[in-house]
Amino acid sequence: MIMPKMNVESFNLDHTKVVAPYIRLAGKMTGTNGDEIHKYDIRFKQPNKEHMDMPGLHSLEHLMAENIRNHSDKVVDLSPMGCQTGFYVSFINHDNYEEVLDIVEKTIHDVLHATEVPACNEVQCGWAASHSLEGAKVIAQAFLDKRAQWHDVFGEG
Ligand SMILES: [Zn+2]
């Protein structure tokens, strides 16, 4: 299928060719002062085959967004993909891919050791009833089990 060139980088990626889980550089921007933003896709689930259920995904988002900042002060944003198969993470002035994998791995360990979901209340969250710590841990463990594949977007080994 021939697709028109899209503005969003990942819309130009053939999602039938990727093999989850993986972490891939999805974009890079340089500001007028030379600061650089690197954006990564963290794909947890195989596109169009699997997805994360919302309560687990939502708790995973809270846990990762809060904890990843303990491992790097260069994180700009971590947020879920609407297709429920992964997350985006962006860093400023940090372009070491292997370190990104290590930062994500440490964050996943935090998820597995968590005893509560941060900020899952009606003051700090927009849908505080939709959370599952256990669901987040199941997703995190499955992702960590395939740590050796994270660098490999297309399953090339
Ligand atoms: Zn929330």
CA of 119 from ligand 1 middle (Å) equals 7
Instruction: Identify residues whose C-beta is under 5 A from ligand 1, the ion.
Output: 125
**pTM, to two decimals:** 0.95
Strand extents, DSSP E, the chain: 22-30, 36-43, 75-80, 86-92
CA of 125 from ligand 1 middle (Å) equals 4
CA of 10 from ligand 1 middle (Å) equals 25
Convert the pLDDT of each residue in 36-91 to its tens digit.
999 999 999 999 999 999 999 999 999 999 999 999 999 999 999 999 999 999 99
Beta carbons of 131 and 59 less than 8 angstroms apart: yes
Convert the pLDDT of each residue in 131-147 to its tens digit.
999 999 999 999 999 99
155: left (phi over 0), alpha (psi -120 to 50) or beta: left
CA of 131 from ligand 1 middle (Å) equals 8
Beta carbons of 136 and 117 less than 8 angstroms apart: yes
Among residues 55, 151, 74, 60, the alpha carbon closest in space to that of 108 is found at: 60
CA of 147 from ligand 1 middle (Å) equals 26
Per the omega criterion (within 30 degrees of 0), is the bond before 47 cis?
no
CA of 40 from ligand 1 middle (Å) equals 21
CA of 62 from ligand 1 middle (Å) equals 6
